[in-house]
Amino acid sequence: MRITDSTPKADGFYMPSELAEHRCTYLLWPERNDNWRAGAKPAQAAFKQVVQTIAKYEPVVLGVNKSQYAHVLEMNMPNVQVVEISNDDSWIRDTGATFVVDGLGHMRAVDWAFNGYGGLVNGIYFPWDQDDLIASKMCGIEGVDRYRLSNFVLEGGSVHSDGEGTILVTEETLLDPGRNPDMTKEQIEETLKEYLGAEKILWIPQGIYMDEDTNGHVDNICQWVAPAKVVLAWEDEENDPQHARSQAAYDYLSSETDAKGRPIEIVKIHVPNVVTITQEESDGVDIVEGTFPRNEGDRLPASYINYYNCNGAVILPTFDDPHDQEAIDTLQSLFPDKVIEPIYAREILLGGGNIHCITQQVPRP
Amino acid sequence: MRITDSTPKADGFYMPSELAEHRCTYLLWPERNDNWRAGAKPAQAAFKQVVQTIAKYEPVVLGVNKSQYAHVLEMNMPNVQVVEISNDDSWIRDTGATFVVDGLGHMRAVDWAFNGYGGLVNGIYFPWDQDDLIASKMCGIEGVDRYRLSNFVLEGGSVHSDGEGTILVTEETLLDPGRNPDMTKEQIEETLKEYLGAEKILWIPQGIYMDEDTNGHVDNICQWVAPAKVVLAWEDEENDPQHARSQAAYDYLSSETDAKGRPIEIVKIHVPNVVTITQEESDGVDIVEGTFPRNEGDRLPASYINYYNCNGAVILPTFDDPHDQEAIDTLQSLFPDKVIEPIYAREILLGGGNIHCITQQVPRP
């Protein structure tokens, strides 16, 4: 049911850390030919690998459009619940429900408005009506009540909760004119606190360079690895536009404390070398008016930070790059009890995001 | 997941009685204008009443096509989980999964082939591809494994399990040439025993007169009220074609015992007076080639036996008929601890079935 006249914070609910125990992970099956090359088949193979890898650690619920349902069902993947969820694209991190818990065994969800990453101002596809219904469908399947904000636009990939009252965001996304242009920064901050059950918002200035699909989502540049401790996408080369962005994030976080007054420890993970779209890759995408183009030579927002924490493992995008091993080693040292599962993720990146963007956890309340 | 190379019986699973405790009830939202009059709005109002009545007693999962999803979501009904399930029509008794349990806390499901009540021989609509996927979608949502019989056609409304090894069926449905014409009665019987975990099949000759949509499903003429005890639709008037059908069922059941060797006690419930389609009702249905017509004057298979057992209540179709009260009283005496919930069900009957046909229980394993 939709809960009216209350908020998660007022009801004692908050967004747990992604590192807290999960009941399951949701994904959506990629399909649209104007974003995923070659009939989406290469992307589907990569998504399938992500699904099967996560399913080794926790149940996966895989939402599929009617058109691909019978095909996906036939894969008969262990520990994967195939369900029907109509969608405009497969970024369930951004379109899915944000689950909140009360620490007493109860779970609810926040169902934000979604407008295709910027609506008619700078959205990347049209329409987005099915995407805006995904969160409610997850709530229907899970049997949890939801707080619906029909007038506040937010994608899940633009917030990271430490589960202890502090939320990481970027100004680049949350102050983007395509989201909530009539709200002040203070009003946005208050809304986040109220619906994520948080005390403090940390505003990193910008996300990854050329992350134009999402306008710089925080989940591609910075992620909690523990309370008061983050990993940050880093670029040593001062002439690369990413350097100034990473440095600004570093300087900001170094000057801040979390909701409990603790300074933020920052672990750098160097980004891979520049990844650009090939002609073959570009040619494989249907050109459609109103959909964000994938042109030959365009730089992609490649980053290791877009990994996903599931129970017992880190699902890490890799790029067949000299920096892959450093990312693996750093995360292994940060999570000595977890398995690091590297997955070559170029085909996901080509669609505009990565492994974190295509996953959404349901906590075990 | 799909289970291959085994059967429920071999694995120790059986279909529990509908009277056993439920986790929830599934329904589907009616929509097709070539079966439901006036844009399906009168039927939707009746279905909504059934949904809300059952939801007083146990959770309801309501499957909806994409086209009606946002509207149904907006109803915000307590204890109702709205999910997306594409469907060709709303008879989830017939298209849904048949859940089986092992008595040790485990649950699985049987996913029979569905062919629109007779396929290209005498089916009542075309295509039926989405209907045939409904059972798998229920399994996806519930997270249970399924036995898929892609080569054995069965609708759930054509079998009634007592949960103790005996299954009620009708010859009229199961031997219909539109289902499994290449199988002998003995082969069909063996398949039922294997997939319902049963020992004995009781073959009532025919169902309700003019139940042409389903070719005489058992769930409109006879239902278990306890092991070795049934209610039977009855017609006193010997000149009415229903009389001979009811008498034949009575005679057959009187001569039989169940799987445990017990004689069958039979309680009669008189059918309502003849119900026929009005001109206004017929005119409200879109005429489409290949869909079973709803003509003015056609007699409908009205019967009180098509009630539904949920936790703590009996959801009973009524017809604004002099026999309504007798049906209520009989069922109340049979279930003294349950609430009898009469619902005026003409609009459901006009589509070809009734309350039992539009519900499917998920046991609590």
State how far residue B140 is from chain A, nearest Cα, in angstroms: 5
- List, as one string, the DSSP characters of B12-70: T-BPPPTTS-EEEEEEE----TTTSTGGGHHHHHHHHHHHHHHTTTS-EEEEE-HHHHH
Spatial neighbors of B251 by CB under 8 A, at least 6 apart, are none
Mean residue pLDDT across chain B: 98
Active site residues of A: 357
Nearest by CB to residue A133, choosing from B2, B70, B80, is B70
Judge: A83–B86 Cβ closer than 8 Å, yes or no.
no
pLDDT digits (tens, 9 = 90+) for A213-240: 999 999 999 999 999 999 999 999 999 9
* pLDDT in the model for residue A4: 86
- In 3-state terms, what secondary structure has residue B138? helix
Instruction: Identify whether the C-beta of residue A224 lies closer than 8 Å to the C-beta of residue A261.
Output: no
Q: Which residue has the tokens 């005679």?
A: B251
User: What is the H or E stretch that residue B127 is in?
Assistant: none
In chain A, the percentage of residues whose pLDDT exceeds 70 is 100
Judge: B73–A136 Cβ closer than 8 Å, yes or no.
yes
Chain B contact residues (CB < 8 Å to A): 1-2, 59, 61, 66, 69-70, 73, 76-78, 80-86, 130, 133, 136-137, 139-141, 143
- In 3-state terms, what secondary structure has residue B186? helix
* pLDDT in the model for residue A179: 97
Average pLDDT of the residues in A41-60 = 98
Average pLDDT of the residues in A338-347 = 98
Instruction: Identify whether the C-beta of residue A76 lies closer than 8 Å to the C-beta of residue A64.
Output: no
Judge: B69–A1 Cβ closer than 8 Å, yes or no.
no
pLDDT digits (tens, 9 = 90+) for A145-184: 999 999 999 999 999 999 999 999 999 999 999 999 999 9
pLDDT digits (tens, 9 = 90+) for B184-229: 999 999 999 999 999 999 999 999 999 999 999 999 999 999 999 9
Instruction: Identify whether the C-beta of residue A229 lies closer than 8 Å to the C-beta of residue A166.
Output: no
Confidence of residue B12 (pLDDT cuts 50, 70, 90): very high
In chain B, the percentage of residues whose pLDDT exceeds 70 is 100
State how far residue B337 is from chain A, nearest Cα, in angstroms: 28
**pLDDT of B4 over the 90 cut:** no
Judge: A140–B82 Cβ closer than 8 Å, yes or no.
yes
pLDDT digits (tens, 9 = 90+) for A313-324: 999 999 999 999
Average pLDDT of the residues in B163-174 = 98
- In 3-state terms, what secondary structure has residue A273? coil
Instruction: Return the closest-CA partner of residue B56 out of B274, B300, B311.
Output: B311
Average pLDDT of the residues in B267-271 = 98
* Cα distances (angstroms) measured from residue A107 to each of A8, A13, A98, A230, B100: 10, 8, 10, 26, 29
| Residue of B79, B84, B133, B148 to mutate when probing chain A, most A C-beta within 10 A | B84
Environment class of A235 (CB within 10 Å of its CB; exposed 0-12, middle 13-18, buried 19+): buried
* pLDDT in the model for residue A54: 98
Residue from B24, B222, B310, B357 carrying the catalytic annotation? B357
pLDDT digits (tens, 9 = 90+) for B237-255: 999 999 999 999 999 999 9
* pLDDT in the model for residue B365: 87
Rg (CA), chain B: 19
User: What value of ipTM does the predicted structure carry?
Assistant: 0.95
What span, in angstroms and rounded, lies between the C-alpha atoms of B88 and B132?
9
Instruction: Identify whether the C-beta of residue B311 lies closer than 8 Å to the C-beta of residue B60.
Output: no
Environment class of B322 (CB within 10 Å of its CB; exposed 0-12, middle 13-18, buried 19+): exposed
